[in-house]
Amino acid sequence: VEERLATATKRWEEIQGMNSVEYLQLCDEAYAAHSKKLGAAASAGTDMHSVMENYVKHCINKNEGKPDPTYKLLAVGHEADKVKLQILIDWSVTKVKRFIWSEVYCYSKTLWIGGISDVGYEDVDGKFAILDFKYSKEVYKSQFWQGVAYAIEVEESGGLDEDGSLQFIMDSQK
């Protein structure tokens, strides 16, 4: 805290000596740097999401939903993508009985919310769960609530495709 405070105090004093044009330029530079970092993170997150989604879709379409320990990332991709994909594969082989869906639309008329759920699966104990791919290193409370919302939505509406056609309903809806 002391180191950071010393640096922050020095920078604050510099900012106080700026005129409004200089300060605006500093703000623009900070915003541009932040925006560039966000853009790079979003792009990396989208790429990683696609890699994970392709694995789940492969399991559903080619392996009756069962995890496939032999799946390999075919595209050249980043080495980090391969490592993270292998983590998902290893986890799914030991924890997932079958993947049920990938990328389904869902909603709740009761709560007036909707979204697109990344993955639904049945675990090895026969319990149903929702998995949402995240690129952040930290876990946020909002991510937990997002999973809760998807569970409510899928329970209420089932899973729909992008055109709104019903793809499945949960056993509890039957």
pLDDT of residue 34: 55
One digit per residue, the tens of pLDDT, for the chain of length 174 reads 788 888 888 888 888 888 888 888 877 787 776 555 544 444 444 478 888 999 999 999 999 999 999 998 665 466 777 888 899 999 999 999 999 999 999 999 999 999 999 999 999 999 999 999 887 788 899 999 999 999 999 999 999 999 999 999 987 655
pLDDT of residue 75: 54
pTM value?
0.69
Got the DSSP string for the chain?
-HHHHHHHHHHHHHHHTS-HHHHHHHHHHHHHHHHHHHHHHHHHHHHHHHHHHHHHHHHHHHSTT---TT----S---HHHHHHHHHHHHHHHHHEEEEEEEEEEEEETTTTEEEEEEEEEEETTS-EEEE-----SS--HHHHHHHHHHHHHHHHH-EE-TT--EEE--GGG-
